[in-house]
Amino acid sequence: MRQVTFSTQSLDAMSGLSQNEQLVLVEKLSSLSTDILTNKNDNVSRFSRKGMTYHRVRIDDLRIYFEQNGPALHCQFILEKNSFQDFMVRCNLPSSDESVVENHQSFWDYLESLRKK
């Protein structure tokens, strides 16, 4: 079992979940093995942002972004799947000002790809 800590955003997101959903989420996060975090896995991905390595795990309709600090995990974001905020984190776009998104070509490329489906 791993120790799991939460950022302010993650705690706010957790407060919107039922107690049972909170327990399931914490149990799944705390039971992630080192093998899962270091190898390719369908539910866990890795990316670097601002010199830090983040992991992204899918749990039901949530996307949890966390960093590994030794044996502990620190959740930075808990976001709903297919949400605008999730898109911004995955595409490494600045999230402080949503109007800035329009200046990034990757945003328009993403919207164009949705239209082609």
Query: Residue 102 CA to chain centroid, in angstroms?
Result: 22
pTM above 0.75, yes or no: no
**pLDDT, tens digit (0-9, with 9 covering 90-100), for 81-111:** 888 777 777 776 655 545 455 556 676 677 6
What is the spatial distance between Cα 51 and Cα 6, in angstroms, rounded to a whole number? 20
Query: Tell me, what's the pLDDT at 108?
Result: 65
- The string of pLDDT tens digits covering residues 8-46 is 888 888 899 999 999 988 888 888 776 666 666 666 777
C-alpha 56/C-alpha 23 separation (Å) is 19
Predicted pLDDT at 88: 72
Given CATH 3.20.20.70, say whether it is the number of domain 1-81. no
Q: What is the pLDDT of residue 19?
A: 93
* Range(s) of the chain covered by CATH 3.30.2310.20: 1-81
